[in-house]
Amino acid sequence: MAEKSYPYPSTLNIANFVTIKLSNSSNYSLWKAQMICLLESQELVGFLDGTFIQPLLDYLKWKRSDRLVKGWIFGTLTEQMLQNVVEKVSARDVWLELEEICCHNSLDDFEEGSTEHPIYGETESTESNEDYKYYLPLYKASLCGDWEKAKTFLKKDNEASRAYITSLLQTALHIAIGSKNDNTKFFIENLVATMTDDALAIKDSFGETPLHYAARFGNLDAAKILVTRNSNLPHVANDINGLYPIHLAIEYGYKSVDLVHYFFSVTKNPAPYTGRIGARLLYRLICSDLYDFATQLVRKFPDLAKYSSNGSSPLALLATKTSAFVGTNSLNTRMRLSCIVTSAASWISQAKTSVVNDIENAVNEALLDKPKPNTPELVYIRDKERKQHQNAIKLAECLCEKLQCLSDKEINFIVGGPLLQGARFDNYKLVEIIVKKFPSSVYYCDKHGKNILHVAVENRCENVFNLVCQMNQHRHHLVTSIDSSRNTMLHLVEKLSDKIERNCTFGAALQMQEELRWFEAVKQILPPSYYKRLNDKGKTAHQVFTERRTHLKIQGEKWMKTIANSCAIIAALILTIAFAAAITFPGVKNCETGLPIFSNNGFFIAFAFSNTVSLSTSCISLFAFVSILTSRYAEEDFLRVFPTRLLWGLVTLYASVEAIMLSFGCALYFVLKDNEMVFYAAFIVAVLPILAFQHWRGPLINHLFFLVKKKRQCFEGIKDVYM
C-alpha cells in the first residue's frame, strides 16, 4: 500500500521531460510547466503541493520518494541557482524557495515574506521623458507640509496632484503621509480635497497605495482621511506581494494598537483574512505580540489555526514566544528605577508648568499629584505584561480548540512540531496547553527519534523538564525512549549547551557545575539499567560526557585557580594588617592598670571587635582559597565542592574587608576627634573599598548564592522512583 502511495520511478530519464535549466525568473514559467508535467505523469506532484505530508509510519518510504523528487529538481538547476536551495530539507522546501526567488508575488510560503523594498539604482518611468526636477517644489512642499507652496504649484498644474513626482513613482500624497510632521494632517486634508477617488488609489513602483503608507508609518489621521473619502482603499492589495494595508498596520502594530484596531474596523472584505493572505496576517499579529487580535481572527476564521505550509503553523510561531508566557515578574531593578525617575520627572514638569499661572495652586497640585509608591509607569508595565500573558494563553487555547475537529493524523502533524519547538525554547506553558488538549501528542518524535523530554534535556530547558517529569502516566515511556542513534536521555546531556554558555558569564567552572547538575538530575529519573547502555558508537553516557567536557574542565580549573590565587593574596594582606592592628592599638596603656587608656571608649570597643572579626574572617577566607588551589580538580568536585568553597571564601573575604575598614575608621577617630569635618570626610572615603568590592565581586557572590539555592530547589518535582 505504501509503495502505491509513494511511487519511486528511479529509472526514469528526467532529461526526456525537462529540457530547460532553471537559471532565473526569465525561464521559470517554462521550467515549472515541464516539471509539473513530469511529476503529474508519475503521480509525485503531492510532494510539492503538500498532499503527501510527512507520515508517522512508513517515513523511510516517504523520505525515499521525496529525495527522488528533490534530486530531479536539483538536476535541472544551474549551479548558481542550486546554491540558493541546496540546504533545503524536503522537495517542497526547495519548490517554495525557488518560487519565492523567481516570483515576487508568490504567496506559498507561510513564513513572513520580506516587505523591505529593494534598492533601485535606476527605476524606469512610464513616461520616459518626464523630468522629475519639474516636481521638486511640490516634493519639498509635501515633505515639509507647506500647503501654501503646494497650492501655488497645483494652480499652475491641475494634474500634478496625481502625477509621479519621484523615480519611485510616488505621488505628493505618498510623500506627505510618510513625512508625519506637525502640518501633515492639514496638508493631507487639503490635498485629498483636490483629488478624485481613483487618484487616492494610485500605486508607487512597489505596488503600494497612500493607505499602505499610512499603515506603514502609523499615520492614523491620514488613514482616517483616506478611508472616509474612499472606503474601498483598505481592500486594495499590493500588486507585488499581495499584502493589504492591514498587514502593514499590524507589522508596526507594536507602536500603535489604535491603528490596528482602526484597520480591523474598516477592512470588511474577508479576502485579507482567509487563505495564505490570512495566514500571513495571523503570522504578523503573533510577531507583533498582538495576541488578542489574533485570537479574534482565529475565532472568526478557524481554518487559519490548521494552516500548515512548509512545516510551519501558528502554534509553531507561538512556541518561540517564550517571553509572552513567563508571567509578570520580568521587571528588573533598572526598569523599576527608570519608571520611578520618569514618574518623578513628569510630576516636576507638571508642577513647573503650573507655576507660571498660579504658584499657590501649583504647590497644591504638586502635593495632590505626588506619585504613590506604585507609580503609574510601573502599574502600566505590569498590567501590559499581565494582559499579554493572558492573551497569549487564550490564543494558544483557541488554536488548540480549532484543531480538535481534525483527525489524529492531522493533529499530530500540525501539533507535533510546535510541541517540540516549545520544549526547545522552554515554553512550558504552551507545552502544558498542547498536552492537555492532545495527550497523545506527548509521544511525538522528530525525524531523529527524539521526544519532548529528549529535546528539553538537550536544550537544558528546566521548566519543560520538570513539567514532563510530573506527568506520571507518560514519564516512564518518555524517559526510557532512545533516539535513532540509540542514545538514551543521559547520552543527550553530553551535548554542550549553548544556553548555559550564554547565561553563564562567570567562568567555565560554573558552566561545568551546571552541566554536572543536569547530568545528575537526568540520571536520577533514569532506570539504573540505562546507566551503562551503549549508543551506536559503543559508548556509555558517562564516557561521552567526560570526553566532550575535557576542554571545559581544563578551562574551569584555570578559572578557579585564577580567582582563588588573586583572592588569597587579598585575604593574606588583610590578615597581616588585622594582626598588626591588634598589637598596635590606638593610644597608650594606663601605667596603673596596664589597660589601654581608651578601653572604656565606645570607638575603642568597636575597633577591637571589628579587628577581631576581620582577623578571623580573613583567616577563614585564606583557608578556603588555599583548599581550592591545592584541590585534585576531579570532575565531581565542580558540582558541589568548588562552588561551596568559593562562596565561603568570597563571603568571608567581603566580611573581612568591611571589618578592617570599620576598624580603620574607629582608629581614625582617636587621631582626628578634634577635627570632626576631616574625620567624617575620611570615614566616607574609607567606605569606598567596600563599595568597590561589592561592585566587582558582588555579582559573582549573588550568582553563587543562586547556584546553591538552585541546587536544592530545582528539579523539585522529580522523585527517584527507581532507587
DSSP state of 357: T
pLDDT confidence of residue 121? 40
220 with 262: CB under 8 angstroms?
yes
Reported as a single tens digit per residue, the pLDDT across 369-403 is 444 444 455 555 667 788 888 999 999 999 999 99
Alpha helices per DSSP H over 145-255:
147-156, 172-179, 184-193, 210-216, 220-229, 245-251
Q: Are 314 and 298 in contact (CB under 8 A)?
A: yes
Residue 220 corresponds to which cell in the numbers above?
492614523
Q: How far is CA 29 from the centre of its chain?
A: 39
pLDDT of residue 294: 93
- Residue 365 in this model has a pLDDT that exceeds 50: no
CA 173, CA 176: separation in Å to the nearest integer?
Answer: 5
pLDDT digits (tens, 9 = 90+) for 538-580: 999 888 888 888 888 888 899 999 999 999 999 999 999 888 8
Give the model confidence (pLDDT) of 443-455 as tens digits.
999 888 999 999 9
What CATH topology corresponds to 132-288? 1.25.40
pLDDT at 368 > cutoff 60: no
Cell of 322: 517564550
Average pLDDT over residues 31-37: 82
- Region 625-643: what's the mean pLDDT? 89
pLDDT at position 120 is: 40
pLDDT digits (tens, 9 = 90+) for 580-603: 887 776 655 555 655 565 566 667
What region does 496 belong to: left with phi over 0, alpha with psi -120 to 50, or beta? beta
* E strand or H helix that includes residue 595: none
Q: How many CA atoms lie within 13 A of 360 on its CB side?
A: 0
Rounded Cα distance between 459 and 493, Å, is: 9
| Cell reading at 78 | 544551474
Query: Could you give the CA distance from residue 636 to residue 649 in angstroms, rounded to a whole number?
Result: 20
Q: At 214, is the pLDDT very low, low, confident or very high (cuts 50, 70, 90)? A: very high
Give span(s): CATH 1.20.140, the chain.
552-713
Annotate 660-693 with b (16+ C-beta within 10 A) or e (fewer): bbbbbbbbbbbeeeeeeeebeebbeebeeeeeeb
CB contact at 8 A, 548 and 493: no
DSSP state of 415: H
Evaluate whether 682 touches 668 at the Cβ level (below 8 Å): yes
Would you say residue 720 has pLDDT above 60? no
**CB proximity list for 118: less than 8 A, separation 6 or greater:** none
Lowest mean pLDDT among 323-327, 557-561, 586-590, 667-671: 586-590
> What contacts 24+ positions apart, CB below 8 Å, involve 689-693?
689/657, 689/661, 690/657, 690/658, 690/661, 693/654, 693/657
| pTM across the whole model | 0.68
Q: Where in the chain is the domain with CATH 1.25.40.20?
A: 132-288
- Find the DSSP H helices in 441-506: 452-458, 462-469, 472-480, 498-503
What sign does the CA torsion over 596, 601, 604, 605 have? positive
- Torsion sign across C-alpha atoms 485, 487, 493, 499: positive
What is the CATH code of the structural domain delimited by 552-713? 1.20.140
Nearest to 229 by CA among 216, 214, 246, 250: 214
Using an 8 Å Cβ cutoff, are 415 and 431 in contact?
A: no
Tell me the mean pLDDT in the region 266-281: 91
